[in-house]
Amino acid sequence: MVNYTRHPASFKDPAGFVFEADGKFYRQVNQYYAIQYRQLMDSGLYAQLVKNGWLVSHEEINENLTQDPSWYTTILPEPVNYISYPYEWCFAQLKDAALLTLKILRQSLEYGMILKDATPFNIQFHKGRPIFIDTLSFDIYNPQQPWIAYRQFCQCFLFPLYLEHYLKSDIPKILAAYINGIPNDIIAKLLPLKSRLNLGVWLHVYLQNTTMISDKGNKAAAKFSKKKLIDLVSHLENIIRNFPADKSYKTTWSNYYDDTILSRQYVEEKEKIVLEMCGKTGAGSVLDLGANTGHFSKKLAAQGMSVVATDTDSRCINKLYLDTTKNNSLNILPLVVDVANPSPAIGFNNTERAAFHDRIQTELVMALALIHHLVIGRNIPISALAGYFRRIAPQLIIEFVPKQDEKVKQMLSTRPDVFADYDQDHFENAFSAYFTIVDQVKIPGTERILYRMIRK
């Protein structure tokens, strides 16, 4: 037997579990799931899904590593670089994950199988695309039965998409509060009145809510068929596909970024310095905090780095995600993360879903034009920030934006200047406590300084 740790999120399904041994993530398949697993593998469904790039591929390890008596087989799935969760995704990511779930369901039906659950936690973004990672989610299909995961699909995918679509605000975030999806009665109260005119909303939200209240375990009478299920799936697909991923948001998001873009010359100079510094770090992976629409992330990805690009503004991340899918930039993972409040550890025992920085670790962290937003915008002392970066960054590229800078002046014009410590000296002192400053370059034409640091 090897030393192994069972993954804290892998406790719901008796079909098997994920465990870590020797730094690798394995998935044990239990006897309980043997028939379904064989059908998945022997029917050709697995091969087809892997060929489509929809399901994570795996290698079968015919060895009972855990010495568990319920063992049937062990699989070693292809590793996924970064684990992200739906409350860190933008609208277009959640939409793509929803469509992938439906595509897999449709494909499964052709091979006599069905998805027994439909949660976004079964999906990860890998090499720029959503991919299904739960190999044990497939069940034998019984055409007389409706889809057991229909309500879960609605609560986890359709309802948040509807909310964002109608309210035009950043909704996936609230999935951190509703880890099992937004309950039907809540979305029925949140959606605006005009949404009732939409057939999809009327059926899946309001009618479902009404039948839930009146439904007294009356499932015996329900007869179903494959055609009916395919109609239902097609309907869901049409609704989700027709959500504009970008278009309708342009009006609300208009000119948002034009304000933040400084002169072209500044960007070009900064780009040169950042790329040179990055080259010196020798890092293969970078976490870009406050990436905006990913101008620098894209440059680093083009150099072959694996990039996690985060911003607190879901509109930026949505734009970047659409950009990466359009241009096939496979090594950027855009995520909606607030640096002053990164996703915490949540779920059962507070271990089911790990905290953001425990999941996403990179060799380099980059924080360009960010520090003034944290110190002045969020009242975080420089010394506290230095401690934070020490925890997350083996190497750091950080831009200091002093008080003389136009952007900082703007910020200070609306609040009292209680930031006596906010200057270059205090910044360097605070960071020197934890880092060795190896490079520092002033961006020509500005008061801003770029630093490259290595953790002590």
Partner 1 sequence: MTDTILLYVDPGSGSYLIQVIIAAIVGALFYFKNAWLRVKAFFWRPKKEDANENDNVNG
User: Residues 171 to 200: which contact partner 1 by CB under 8 A?
Assistant: 180-181, 183-185
Q: Tell me the window of 96-104, 211-219, 325-333, 377-385 that interacts with partner 1 (CB under 8 A).
A: 211-219
**Which residue in this structure is represented by tokens 């190497």?**
395
Residue 101 makes contact with partner 1 by CB under 8 A:
no
Q: How many CB atoms lie within 10 A of CB 451?
A: 20
Cα 149 vs. chain centroid, distance in angstroms? Answer: 22
DSSP state of 175: G
Residue 206 makes contact with partner 1 by CB under 8 A:
no
Can you tell me which of 203, 302, 384, 438 binds partner 1, judged by CB under 8 A? 203
Q: What are the CA-CA distances from residue 35 to residues 70, 104, 237 (Å)? A: 14, 19, 30
d(CA 397, CA 371): 12
Instruction: State the DSSP string of 53-86.
Output: T-B--EEEE-S-TT--TTEEEEEEEPPPS----G
Can you tell me which of 12, 51, 196, 228 binds partner 1, judged by CB under 8 A? 228
Minimum CB separation of residue 25 from partner 1 in Å reads: 27
Residue 241 makes contact with partner 1 by CB under 8 A:
yes
The residue among 242, 240, 236, 45 whose CA lies nearest residue 150 is: 236
Minimum CB separation of residue 339 from partner 1 in Å reads: 34
Residue 302 makes contact with partner 1 by CB under 8 A:
no
Pair 297, 320: CB distance under 8 Å: yes
Q: Smaller CB distance to partner 1: residue 64 or 209?
A: 209
The residue among 375, 370, 376, 365 whose CA lies nearest residue 430 is: 375
Please, is 193 exposed, middle or buried when counting C-beta atoms within 10 Å of its C-beta (0-12, 13-18, 19+)?
exposed
Q: Smaller CB distance to partner 1: residue 180 or 252?
A: 180
Can you tell me which of 35, 140, 212, 302 binds partner 1, judged by CB under 8 A? 212
Residue 207 makes contact with partner 1 by CB under 8 A:
yes
Residue 2 makes contact with partner 1 by CB under 8 A:
no
Q: Smaller CB distance to partner 1: residue 35 or 222?
A: 222
Q: Smaller CB distance to partner 1: residue 42 or 215?
A: 215
Instruction: State the DSSP string of 182-204.
Output: --HHHHHHHS-GGGGGSHHHIII
d(CA 334, CA 92): 11
Residue 232 makes contact with partner 1 by CB under 8 A:
yes
Per-residue binding string, partner 1, 118-157, x by CB under 8 A, is: ----------------------------xxxxxxx--x--
Can you tell me which of 173, 204, 319, 452 binds partner 1, judged by CB under 8 A? 204
Residues 6+ positions from 16 with CB-CB distance below 8 Å: 27, 28, 29, 30, 33, 72, 136
The residue among 149, 169, 145, 168 whose CA lies nearest residue 157 is: 149
d(CA 390, CA 383): 11
Q: Smaller CB distance to partner 1: residue 217 or 304?
A: 217
Q: Tell me the window of 164-172, 224-232, 349-357, 361-369 that interacts with partner 1 (CB under 8 A).
A: 224-232
Can you tell me which of 2, 35, 140, 222 binds partner 1, judged by CB under 8 A? 222
* SS3 of the chain: helix, strand, coil, percent, to 5: 45, 20, 35
Residue 78 makes contact with partner 1 by CB under 8 A:
no
Residue 213 makes contact with partner 1 by CB under 8 A:
yes
Can you tell me which of 235, 295, 407, 455 binds partner 1, judged by CB under 8 A? 235
How many chain residues interact with partner 1 (CB under 8 A)? 39
What does the binding site for partner 1 look like in residue numbers (CB under 8 A)? 146-152, 155, 180-181, 183-185, 203-204, 207-208, 211-213, 215, 217-219, 221-224, 227-232, 234-235, 238, 241-242
